[in-house]
Amino acid sequence: MLDVRPIPAFRDNYIWMIHGIGAPHGVAVVDPGDAQPVLAALAAGALKLEAILATHYHADHVGGIAELVAVTGARVFGPARERMPVACVRLAGGERVGIAALGLEFGIFDVPGHTAGHVALTGHGVLFSGDTLFSAGCGRLFEGTAEQMLASLDALAGLPDETRVFCGHEYTEANLRFALTVDPGNSAIMDYVKRAAVLRGEGRPTLPSTIGLEKRVNPFLRTRHENVKSSAERRAGRMLPTPAAVFAELRSWKDTFR
Ligand code: ZN
Ligand code: FE
């Protein structure tokens, strides 16, 4: 099983550190918004940073890249269609990217919606979903349409159920409160609420999730389920004839949900 560990950053970001296969002292990091906690983890483990992967250009995901490159010389891989702080290998949907020094290879998904050029990486039984798929939620629509984001999420939901999902933020508990409002009586959500409270109470991440779990609890992957659809229609005060219309209503509801 691929060795992936969290480096908490800022208030609720995770920078994911991937250990190389057959090269345990070589690592890659995903979405390093801040260099300092990464440099501390490298020093603590006597680790060599070989690669930096970025899912999208927001500062809380790329803000540490320039300093990490200056200190470590790591290679940077970033989305093909977004401006990045340093020169990098460009990742586009449908391509595969190899990091030979770490024995790693990932396939790339284009997942527009949160940003126009957002990418996700998958391989070795894991998914790095950035701010597209969160556990029990999804990213805000800053640069895309509901149709685009729904298609992006549907593509990720097509991965095998056992795929471990590593996303960019610890938003799970707040997302679950919304999920239970939209999908009341869903016992998988109720079970997850309890499990997440225990984990957070111990100061541990709720992540990774899995694709199988997300399909059972995440309202943004459940726009075709009657319970979720009827909740969205009740809030909208009208029929919502398509999954994209349900999705759009859920997303705007969540934007103001407390
Ligand atoms: Zn973002
Ligand atoms: Fe973010």
Residue in the block written with tokens 């990774």: 208
**Residues with Cβ < 8 Å from 6, sequence gap 6 or more?**
14, 15, 16, 17, 205, 207
Measure the CA–CA gap between 235 and 218, rounded to whole angstroms. 18
Residue 258 has a pLDDT of: 85
CB distance 170 to 207 below 8 Å: yes
Measure the CA–CA gap between 156 and 78, rounded to whole angstroms. 19
Tell me how far the alpha carbon of residue 145 lies from the centroid of ligand 2, in angstroms: 18
Measure the CA–CA gap between 195 and 190, rounded to whole angstroms. 9
CB distance 247 to 220 below 8 Å: yes
Measure the CA–CA gap between 180 and 217, rounded to whole angstroms. 9
Tell me how far the alpha carbon of residue 94 lies from the centroid of ligand 2, in angstroms: 23
Tell me how far the alpha carbon of residue 56 lies from the centroid of ligand 1, in angstroms: 7
Tell me how far the alpha carbon of residue 139 lies from the centroid of ligand 1, in angstroms: 7
| Domains detected in the chain | 4-255 (3.60.15.10)
Tell me how far the alpha carbon of residue 190 lies from the centroid of ligand 2, in angstroms: 26
Sites in the chain below the pLDDT cut of 70: none
Residues noted as catalytic:
56, 58, 60-61, 114, 131, 169
Tell me how far the alpha carbon of residue 135 lies from the centroid of ligand 2, in angstroms: 14
* Backbone dihedral region for residue 187 (phi beyond 0: left; psi -120 to 50: alpha; all else: beta): alpha
Measure the CA–CA gap between 199 and 179, rounded to whole angstroms. 18
Q: Where are the beta strands (DSSP E) in 179-240?
A: 209-210
> Strands 23-30 and 48-53: what pairing?
parallel
Task: Read off the DSSP letter of residue 171.
Answer: -
Question: How many CA atoms does the CB half-sphere of 106 hold within 13 Å?
Answer: 27
Task: Read off the DSSP letter of residue 176.
Answer: H
Ligand nearest to the CA of 56: 1
Ligand nearest to the CA of 60: 2
CB distance 149 to 138 below 8 Å: yes
Ligand nearest to the CA of 31: 2
Residue 24 has a pLDDT of: 84
Residue 242 has a pLDDT of: 97
Measure the CA–CA gap between 205 and 13, rounded to whole angstroms. 11
> Strands 133-134 and 209-210: what pairing?
unpaired
Residue 46 has a pLDDT of: 97
> Strands 137-138 and 133-134: what pairing?
antiparallel
Ligand nearest to the CA of 169: 2
* Backbone dihedral region for residue 136 (phi beyond 0: left; psi -120 to 50: alpha; all else: beta): left
